[in-house]
Amino acid sequence: MNPDHISLHNKQFEPYLSAERLMAAITELAVQLNQEYANKTPLFVAVLNGSFMFAADLMKAMHIPCEISFIRVASYQGTSSTGKVQEVLGLTEDIAGRHVVVLEDIVDTGHTMKMLLDTLGAQAPASLEVATLFMKPECLQHELAIRYVGLSIPNDFIVGYGLDYDGLGRNYPDVYKAV
Protein backbone atom coordinates (compact mmCIF):
# COMPACT_ATOMS: atom_id res chain seq x y z
CA MET A 1 0.00 0.00 0.00
CA ASN A 2 1.34 3.42 -0.94
CA PRO A 3 1.31 6.37 1.45
CA ASP A 4 -1.27 9.15 1.20
CA HIS A 5 1.46 11.76 1.65
CA ILE A 6 5.24 11.64 1.67
CA SER A 7 7.87 14.00 3.07
CA LEU A 8 11.19 14.44 1.28
CA HIS A 9 13.73 16.88 2.67
CA ASN A 10 11.67 20.00 3.42
CA LYS A 11 8.73 19.31 1.07
CA GLN A 12 5.42 17.51 1.32
CA PHE A 13 3.98 15.51 -1.59
CA GLU A 14 0.51 14.12 -2.27
CA PRO A 15 -0.58 11.31 -4.62
CA TYR A 16 -0.79 12.39 -8.27
CA LEU A 17 -0.61 9.44 -10.71
CA SER A 18 -1.00 5.76 -9.85
CA ALA A 19 1.34 3.02 -10.97
CA GLU A 20 -1.57 1.62 -13.00
CA ARG A 21 -2.00 4.91 -14.88
CA LEU A 22 1.75 5.03 -15.59
CA MET A 23 1.71 1.45 -16.93
CA ALA A 24 -1.24 2.26 -19.18
CA ALA A 25 0.70 5.19 -20.70
CA ILE A 26 3.83 3.05 -21.12
CA THR A 27 1.81 0.28 -22.77
CA GLU A 28 0.39 2.81 -25.26
CA LEU A 29 3.92 4.03 -26.07
CA ALA A 30 5.14 0.44 -26.50
CA VAL A 31 2.32 -0.38 -28.94
CA GLN A 32 3.28 2.66 -31.02
CA LEU A 33 7.02 1.90 -30.90
CA ASN A 34 6.53 -1.80 -31.68
CA GLN A 35 4.56 -0.86 -34.80
CA GLU A 36 6.75 1.98 -36.02
CA TYR A 37 10.09 0.25 -35.41
CA ALA A 38 9.18 -3.23 -36.66
CA ASN A 39 12.05 -4.49 -38.85
CA LYS A 40 14.36 -1.62 -37.76
CA THR A 41 16.11 -2.92 -34.59
CA PRO A 42 16.14 0.40 -32.74
CA LEU A 43 18.68 1.42 -30.13
CA PHE A 44 16.98 2.88 -27.07
CA VAL A 45 19.15 5.33 -25.16
CA ALA A 46 17.86 5.75 -21.61
CA VAL A 47 18.77 8.95 -19.78
CA LEU A 48 19.83 8.15 -16.23
CA ASN A 49 19.01 8.41 -13.43
CA GLY A 50 15.37 9.36 -13.78
CA SER A 51 14.34 7.14 -16.67
CA PHE A 52 15.48 3.82 -15.22
CA MET A 53 11.99 2.62 -14.18
CA PHE A 54 10.35 3.91 -17.36
CA ALA A 55 13.06 2.32 -19.52
CA ALA A 56 12.78 -1.04 -17.73
CA ASP A 57 9.00 -1.21 -18.01
CA LEU A 58 9.01 -0.01 -21.63
CA MET A 59 11.65 -2.57 -22.62
CA LYS A 60 9.55 -5.37 -21.08
CA ALA A 61 6.71 -4.30 -23.38
CA MET A 62 8.84 -4.22 -26.55
CA HIS A 63 8.24 -7.26 -28.77
CA ILE A 64 10.66 -6.42 -31.57
CA PRO A 65 14.42 -6.89 -31.74
CA CYS A 66 15.98 -3.87 -30.03
CA GLU A 67 18.94 -2.78 -27.92
CA ILE A 68 19.29 -0.46 -24.96
CA SER A 69 22.12 1.69 -23.73
CA PHE A 70 22.41 4.41 -21.10
CA ILE A 71 23.63 7.96 -20.87
CA ARG A 72 23.73 10.14 -17.78
CA VAL A 73 23.32 13.89 -17.77
CA ALA A 74 22.68 16.38 -14.99
CA SER A 75 20.77 19.65 -15.17
CA TYR A 76 18.75 19.83 -11.94
CA GLN A 77 19.54 21.10 -8.48
CA GLY A 78 16.75 20.91 -5.92
CA THR A 79 13.41 21.58 -7.61
CA SER A 80 14.55 23.65 -10.57
CA SER A 81 16.66 23.24 -13.68
CA THR A 82 20.08 24.87 -13.54
CA GLY A 83 19.86 25.60 -17.27
CA LYS A 84 23.30 24.04 -17.70
CA VAL A 85 23.64 20.48 -18.89
CA GLN A 86 26.71 18.44 -18.06
CA GLU A 87 27.27 15.09 -19.74
CA VAL A 88 28.41 12.72 -17.03
CA LEU A 89 28.44 9.30 -18.69
CA GLY A 90 28.58 9.08 -22.46
CA LEU A 91 27.25 6.68 -25.03
CA THR A 92 29.82 4.10 -26.16
CA GLU A 93 27.88 2.57 -29.09
CA ASP A 94 28.38 3.81 -32.64
CA ILE A 95 24.97 5.18 -33.62
CA ALA A 96 25.78 6.12 -37.22
CA GLY A 97 23.05 4.68 -39.44
CA ARG A 98 21.07 3.38 -36.42
CA HIS A 99 17.47 4.16 -35.47
CA VAL A 100 17.84 5.82 -32.07
CA VAL A 101 15.07 6.53 -29.56
CA VAL A 102 16.05 8.56 -26.50
CA LEU A 103 14.11 7.49 -23.39
CA GLU A 104 13.56 10.32 -20.91
CA ASP A 105 11.54 10.44 -17.71
CA ILE A 106 10.40 14.06 -18.12
CA VAL A 107 10.85 16.91 -20.59
CA ASP A 108 10.14 20.29 -19.06
CA THR A 109 12.46 23.17 -20.08
CA GLY A 110 13.94 21.07 -22.88
CA HIS A 111 17.54 22.10 -22.11
CA THR A 112 18.70 18.51 -21.55
CA MET A 113 16.87 17.16 -24.58
CA LYS A 114 18.13 19.92 -26.89
CA MET A 115 21.72 19.18 -25.88
CA LEU A 116 21.22 15.43 -26.29
CA LEU A 117 19.53 15.71 -29.67
CA ASP A 118 22.26 18.06 -30.93
CA THR A 119 25.00 15.73 -29.62
CA LEU A 120 23.43 12.52 -30.90
CA GLY A 121 22.28 14.07 -34.17
CA ALA A 122 25.90 15.00 -34.97
CA GLN A 123 26.71 11.27 -34.98
CA ALA A 124 24.56 10.64 -38.10
CA PRO A 125 21.88 8.23 -36.88
CA ALA A 126 19.39 6.96 -39.47
CA SER A 127 16.64 8.45 -37.30
CA LEU A 128 16.51 10.14 -33.91
CA GLU A 129 13.34 10.38 -31.81
CA VAL A 130 12.42 10.94 -28.18
CA ALA A 131 10.05 8.91 -26.01
CA THR A 132 9.28 10.63 -22.72
CA LEU A 133 6.98 9.46 -19.98
CA PHE A 134 6.10 13.02 -18.94
CA MET A 135 6.02 16.30 -20.84
CA LYS A 136 5.38 19.76 -19.39
CA PRO A 137 4.42 21.75 -22.51
CA GLU A 138 4.05 25.07 -20.67
CA CYS A 139 7.68 24.89 -19.45
CA LEU A 140 9.29 24.15 -22.81
CA GLN A 141 11.93 26.73 -23.77
CA HIS A 142 13.15 25.08 -26.98
CA GLU A 143 11.46 24.07 -30.25
CA LEU A 144 11.44 20.31 -29.84
CA ALA A 145 9.38 17.81 -31.79
CA ILE A 146 8.82 15.12 -29.17
CA ARG A 147 7.09 12.32 -31.06
CA TYR A 148 6.33 9.90 -28.23
CA VAL A 149 4.76 11.38 -25.08
CA GLY A 150 3.23 9.19 -22.39
CA LEU A 151 1.50 11.94 -20.39
CA SER A 152 1.34 15.72 -20.75
CA ILE A 153 1.20 17.30 -17.31
CA PRO A 154 1.03 20.82 -15.86
CA ASN A 155 4.03 22.50 -14.25
CA ASP A 156 3.85 20.57 -10.98
CA PHE A 157 6.98 19.33 -9.23
CA ILE A 158 6.70 15.54 -9.16
CA VAL A 159 8.60 12.65 -7.60
CA GLY A 160 8.36 8.88 -7.71
CA TYR A 161 8.71 6.26 -10.42
CA GLY A 162 12.33 7.27 -10.97
CA LEU A 163 11.93 11.02 -10.46
CA ASP A 164 13.58 12.51 -7.40
CA TYR A 165 13.94 15.53 -5.17
CA ASP A 166 17.66 15.86 -4.38
CA GLY A 167 18.13 12.09 -4.56
CA LEU A 168 15.02 11.01 -2.64
CA GLY A 169 11.69 9.65 -3.91
CA ARG A 170 12.77 7.62 -6.95
CA ASN A 171 11.67 4.37 -5.31
CA TYR A 172 7.91 5.00 -5.16
CA PRO A 173 5.84 3.11 -7.76
CA ASP A 174 3.31 5.98 -7.93
CA VAL A 175 3.99 9.64 -8.74
CA TYR A 176 3.46 12.34 -6.14
CA LYS A 177 3.29 16.12 -6.58
CA ALA A 178 4.50 18.83 -4.25
CA VAL A 179 1.83 20.55 -2.14
Query: 93-117: per-residue pLDDT in tens?
Result: 999 999 999 999 999 999 889 988 9
Residues in Cβ contact with 150 at an 8 Å cutoff, skipping those fewer than 6 apart:
22, 25, 26, 28, 29, 54, 131, 132, 133, 134, 135
Rounded average pLDDT over 54-71: 97
Fold classification of 13-178 is: Rossmann fold (3.40.50)
pLDDT score of 7: 95
Selected catalytic residue, list 4, 94, 105, 108: 108
pLDDT score of 176: 98
Query: Is 2 a residue whose pLDDT tops 60?
Result: yes
Contact 42, 130 (CB under 8 A): no
Query: Is 77 a residue whose pLDDT tops 90?
Result: no
Band of residue 72 on the pLDDT scale cut at 50, 70, 90: confident
pLDDT score of 71: 92
For the whole model, what pTM was predicted?
A: 0.91
Strands in the chain per DSSP E: 6-8, 11-17, 43-48, 67-77, 80-89, 99-107, 127-135, 148-152, 158-159, 175-178
pLDDT score of 82: 56
The question of whether 118 is a catalytic residue gets the answer no
